[in-house]
Chain A
Amino acid sequence: MSATPAPPSVTTRERLVRGLAAALAERRYVDVTMNDIVRHARTSKRTFYEHFADKEECFLELYARVCDGLYTAQAARVDPSSPMRDQIRTLTEVYLETLSASPAVSRAILSDIIGGGDACLVARRREHERYADAMRLYFEHARREQPDAGIRSLSLESAAALVGAINELVLRAFDAGRADELVALAPTIEDLLRSMVLDRR
């Protein structure tokens, strides 16, 4: 996160973020204590406070890292010259695989963050906007690359609504106890994306 000064030691900081991720596998975000985080990170509370002001700040860094990881994975896997239908399939696959890799963290990011306080809500909005804008630019670029493929332009607002719609599908799956079957959502998410961006499905 750009507002955070350069960390004195990247590895310790990373260990703390991973400590929080490990703690989230045991209990929900609101119930995770500082003791849980430092226990998993094998460090001290003192060290924690050298890196983060509070649990929330640590969580927001975890959040940003997961999002960055998702962007990188999507960019690495998708082939921009393939038919848009296939690109949508790959983007969806990577999205669901990323969330499935750590269901507890995904749940915290998609659901618990909402009740995590003002800073969490602001961070959530920022990441959503970032993701929506990336999505808009992605399809804009694809329109230029494949002008005859019937790819529609997506406004920033439409992209934001799409992000919200997709997140809701994942949340419903979590609530229904299907966190380990997120890939089953792929056809629905692809349908949603195709409906919004493709003239020809």
Chain B
Amino acid sequence: MASAREERQPPAAISPEEATALWQLLTTEEPKTPRERLLMGMAAAVQERGLAASTVADVVRHARASRRTFYEHFSDRDDCFLELYEIIIDRLVWLFENSVVPQEVWYDEFVIASRTYLYGLVVSPALARAGIAEMTSLGPRALEARTRGLTRLADVLIQIHEEGRRRHPDIPSRPITPELALAIIAGEHELVLQYVQQDRIAAIPEELAPVCARMSYLIGVIAPD
């Protein structure tokens, strides 16, 4: 849909399977501490029933822990989810940082990076829904966590752009300001939220990668005057 209307498709340097594998490399680690086990329990609960329906009872059942242990580590369900959210952001930041594959055409690098990142984002549709849509109803704490997360991703965008500028000195470009980078990341997430709300999560990477790439690319290049 969107992809047909946007610019041409570059060769896929990273396949969807590889992007998924990159992500899973990080998620299959065995939890080592009770706290980690509770966090993975939270992830399992969300995958099973969604965030809204997940209770502390679900979390401790999946984590094979007691309620007492839960409350030794977290003040409530949201507290636990927000820490899981930070971990997901850590992993997305890592995936985004490692998503760049140098290409002859600079724009192609953004398509590949966006696609890799978006595949990572939708590996678990339930977590994507929780982190992008459901999360927003958790109050000010969650909104702060969201802003922090988006800011970190925006920093990666700036970094990717700077590296690209060094590889493609022939294309007139300019640094992306943190303000614009955050706006772009938020804009992309808005688009992802729309797809989540429409239950089109599976279509996100292929349809939205060209849109995200175009935006990230255009903001940093200087059009001939």
A residues with CB within 8 A of B: 111, 114-117, 121-122, 125, 128-129, 150, 155-158, 160-169, 172, 175, 188, 191-192, 195-196, 198-201
Shortest Cβ distance from residue A192 to the other chain B in the assembled complex, whole angstroms: 6
B2: CB under 8 A from chain A? Answer: yes
Tell me if B139 and A157 are in contact (CB < 8 A). no
B183: CB under 8 A from chain A? Answer: yes
Binds A, one of B63-71, B78-86, B186-194: B186-194
A164 to B137, CA, bound (A): 18
Q: A114-B136, A163-B190 are in contact. Are A158 and B225 (CB under 8 A)?
A: no
Known A121-B197, A196-B218, A200-B224; further 16 A-B contacts with Cβ < 8 A: A111-B143, A115-B136, A115-B137, A122-B197, A128-B194, A161-B187, A161-B211, A162-B215, A164-B190, A166-B183, A166-B187, A169-B179, A188-B179, A200-B225, A201-B222, A201-B225
Size of the chain B interface, CB-CB below 8 angstroms: 38
B207: CB under 8 A from chain A? Answer: yes
Please give me the residue from chain B that is nearest to A198 by CB atom.
B223
Tell me if B215 and A168 are in contact (CB < 8 A). no
Tell me if A161 and B212 are in contact (CB < 8 A). yes
Shortest Cβ distance from residue B132 to the other chain A in the assembled complex, whole angstroms: 11
Shortest Cβ distance from residue A115 to the other chain B in the assembled complex, whole angstroms: 5
A191 to B222, CA, bound (A): 11
